[in-house]
Structure 1
């Protein structure tokens, strides 16, 4: 009886999607839903920024494989990782337009291996921070060519820097995988591209610099790749008209305006209240987290009319009870929205590590074998979201059968 009641709820929540979405291996959007093969797709996954870096050394690729295998065993179906490393040690891009084939082959392996384990990937194209180069490296490259650079934020406006970045977009998106032979732009293993990890432009609180940059870069990427979804890489900070919802600071982005750009397919949200509200207690941080999640879900649904992906969330603690409460807050918000046909499309925690990767620990890491209670929570969320998808598929098949009978 419980299943029947749930089936009725799902029918009414998702009935508007019937008859409109053709089967496709590529994840698409329809209204506030992500869609895959004609049914809503829910992304329960993880961040693992290190995948390309580790896979660039063939002797270390087993760590990538074991991570994907363990993730798949827990029902995880998506990974977010870096498709950038600019200048410095073991870069992907030595200098503008000059690439390290070993690193590219590492990324080839990551994508091919993700496909083998049924995992989609979100690939981020540049960093806001100077780790792995980022916008700082781009403006330094331009300065070395005689450009007058005032700050890192010139990344968003300097035409030479923007040209370097567009070249990187083209180089990655049109890359042909050395293992599969498939060009990245034609590979459905990639769910989406991300323009920048955590876009910030603190020198322009109006948001105009970021708005113009996203507009330009999103249009350019879409002109090369019409298959994949695109997201900006925003943390969710609001602009000046809704600044009171932010955790006491602004970064020159606007969750509403930036995501209203037509070439941006879905919105993203990050959540780190232990960093943002470092002077507050744990319960206050959890309270903020719940409000932060729900406010963005409502805005994605009622204003943006686009899906919302919690692309990063995490807490720095080795207390499993506190971490589990944090994860459960996020998972509950996602499931509550998703089960009613809402805009929450899933979440990716920061960060998943394999065993024997101690040098990558940052306090936020989850090693599934070391954290049984957290691993159970993660697997349960996968099962719950998959249940919604299966219910929808059953309803879709019933609807098809009825139509074939003329009912």
Structure 2
């Protein structure tokens, strides 16, 4: 899988599609038919007995925003605009731990108002026919994360050394398991459907970007993933499950470390994803951060190697689907222009499309991140407001419809 642009092919394909079909409309879709769960067949996603290839986005903020009923229109706006652009998968947080506007105020104690915000997110996603990937916890202190779980244990007098005890201490692991069970068994106050029975949820994610400084081999994280993946599946065997990995290689195949951006983070893309309860692999990609001192050509070349290496591994070693679960281009990068972002996204999309067209394991990509108008506090440089960025929205829409068309051909 190369990284050179396939824009002409995609443009012709999309032009043909435009002549024979309309893009998805702004109104919510009819859900009168019984919805089905996204499943795995071999190294492909499957929906209603057909290959499911998708284009999607990240919107981590949705539950927090929806916890304020006066701001729920922003969630609706993003789902409506994303649906109009043909996007069909959204990744978002099902956590906010001990912080302001927290979902989990303390271990086992929840703010019902915030939980109802997540209920709204799930119900709106269903209304607009967008599947959700819901993440259970953060690696970082933002929204609480691993540091908050360890601090909760420390506050209770438990002897913990550092944040990496999250993966090994039984008390901390117990807090995490309790949260997982609480979310999975939650009955939506709007739809009256338990989350574990909700087909709109495509997959659960164990953690956003797990890292472990205490053990760079990946073995500590591996043990935790095995334990928690088995636990999730014991409660819910209907939904897919992924880890939340960035894609860093570890000690299983040392020769693969050459593809890392010069360092490790305590995970092992190969061994972590070989765990049988994990249904598909993920990578994240931020060469503008990881290789900040290198020029754009070098960053683009890294991106090509990163995608190709993991796609090959997913096909030949893991034999599981692969999703590029986070990527983007920041307006804070030196010399940023919206046209440079469009070219970068187009190149990533082209590689995903070509892999899928050639029977590869890449099932889709999720750009970071989509916001509604008037959400400047959530901006991080990578944000895209579809209504305000027509050229970027066009790049996204082309990919969405190209992947959807391909779904019906493979």
User: What TM-score comes out, normalization by structure 2 length?
Assistant: 0.89
Corresponding residue for 1:165? 176
CA distance in 2, matches of 1:298, 1:244: 15
Corresponding residue for 2:39? 28
CA distance in 2, matches of 1:371, 1:291: 29
Q: Secondary structure at the match of 1:391?
A: coil
Q: How many residues align?
A: 372
Q: Secondary structure at the match of 1:334?
A: helix
Deviations 1:161-197 (A, max 9, x none): 0000000000000000000000000000000000000
Question: Does the Cα contact within 8 Å between 1:24 and 1:36 map onto a contact in 2?
Answer: no
CA distance in 2, matches of 1:340, 1:249: 32
**How do 1:119-138 residues align onto structure 2 when only pairs under 5 Å count?**
119-138=130-149
Cα displacement (A) at 1:342: 1.0
Unaligned stretches of 5+ residues in structure 1: 7-22, 393-407
1:321 matched to 2:321? The reply is: no
Which of 382, 393, 398 aligns to 2:400? It is: 382
Which of 352, 371, 380 aligns to 1:353? It is: 371
**How do 1:29-44 residues align onto structure 2 when only pairs under 5 Å count?**
29-44=40-55
Cα displacement (A) at 1:321: 1.8
Give the helix-richer structure, 1 or 2: 1
CA distance in 2, matches of 1:379, 1:128: 32
Question: Does the Cα contact within 8 Å between 2:279 and 2:320 map onto a contact in 1?
Answer: yes
Which of 264, 274, 289 aligns to 1:275? It is: 289
1:368 matched to 2:383? The reply is: no
CA distance in 2, matches of 1:24, 1:227: 13
Question: Does the Cα contact within 8 Å between 1:218 and 1:263 map onto a contact in 2?
Answer: yes
Corresponding residue for 2:129? 118
Which of 174, 177, 184 aligns to 2:195? It is: 184
Cα displacement (A) at 1:24: 7.1
Higher relative contact order (CA 8 A, sep 6+): 2
**How do 1:251-290 residues align onto structure 2 when only pairs under 5 Å count?**
251-290=265-304
Corresponding residue for 1:334? 352
Greater alpha carbon shift after TM alignment, 201-210 vs 45-54: 201-210
CA distance in 2, matches of 1:355, 1:24: 31
CA distance in 2, matches of 1:47, 1:108: 18
CA distance in 2, matches of 1:231, 1:273: 23
Corresponding residue for 1:196? 207
- How big is the alpha-carbon RMSD for the aligned residues of Structure 1 and Structure 2? 1.3
CA distance in 2, matches of 1:355, 1:204: 42
Cα displacement (A) at 1:217: 0.2
Q: Secondary structure at the match of 1:62?
A: helix
CA distance in 2, matches of 1:368, 1:53: 20
CA distance in 2, matches of 1:332, 1:203: 38
Deviations 1:194-250 (A, max 9, x none): 000001002101111100000000000000001000000000000031222100110
Greater alpha carbon shift after TM alignment, 272-281 vs 236-245: 236-245
Runs of 4+ with >6 A deviation? none
CA distance in 2, matches of 1:88, 1:54: 14
Which of 92, 100, 108 aligns to 1:97? It is: 108
Cα displacement (A) at 1:309: 0.6
1:297 matched to 2:315? The reply is: no
Unaligned stretches of 5+ residues in structure 2: 1-8, 14-33
Question: Does the Cα contact within 8 Å between 2:353 and 2:403 map onto a contact in 1?
Answer: yes
CA distance in 1, matches of 2:409, 2:131: 21
Cα displacement (A) at 1:320: 1.1
